[in-house]
Amino acid sequence: MAKYERITPERLRELLDYDPETGIFRWRVRRSQRVRIGHIAGTIDRDGYRVIRTGYKTYRASRLVYLWMRGEWPPAEMDHINGIPADDRWCNLRPASRSQNVRNVRQRSTNPFKGITWNKAQQCWRAQICVNYRVIYLGSFDNPEDAHAVYIRAAEPYFGKFARST
């Protein structure tokens, strides 16, 4: 295999074992003095994803899971259904387009509910949703719970199984 070619399913299985129930990859070969057979492969990156380096390339573990289970590279991105980026159990992963994947992001900790913002000028909560790069205004509300409820009702028909309420 050339220095920068993507790993093949066969080479992946030579190097690593994968447990679909736990989502953990373990080394099948001794990599160095520190990394031995049976050690958990990879590290957690700054975004919370497990990444595994083999050869001269670094891969997200979720993409390697798909390669391991299906024998081919995922068609686009891999979505973590529960929103936990290091949870690489097979049952928690699904292929997704970029737009589907961003619909399933968790709410930032600075805002209590997804899909709403505080409008300081009008002293109210605004609900809005972004669909196909267009922001759709859903209304203004006196409390965040009402604004969030409107967002949830709007998200379901647009996002389907990729809708996330938190």
CATH number of the domain that 20 lies in?
3.90.75.20
CA gap 30, 13 in Å, rounded:
14
Same domain, 156 and 90: no
- Please say whether the beta carbons of 58 and 3 come within 8 A: no
The answer as to whether 14 is a domain residue is yes
Q: Are residues 19 and 55 in the same domain?
A: yes
Q: What is the mean pLDDT of residues 49-54?
A: 94
pLDDT greater than 60 at residue 88? yes
Mean residue pLDDT across the chain: 86
The residue segments making up the domain with residue 140 are 107-162
30 and 37 Cβ atoms separated by less than 8 Å = yes
The model scores a pTM over 0.75: no
Assess whether pLDDT exceeds 80 at residue 40: yes
Q: Which residues contact 99 (CB under 8 A, 6 or more apart)?
A: 132
- Kindly state whether residues 56 and 24 are assigned to the same domain: yes
Q: Whole-angstrom distance between the N-terminal and C-terminal Cα of the chain? A: 44
Count: domains in the chain: 2
pLDDT value at residue 104: 60
Rounded to whole angstroms, the Cα distance separating 57 from 121 reads 49
Q: Is residue 115 part of a domain?
A: yes
R_g of the chain, CA atoms, integer Å:
20
d(CA 101, CA 37): 34
Collapsed DSSP state (helix, strand, coil) of residue 29: coil
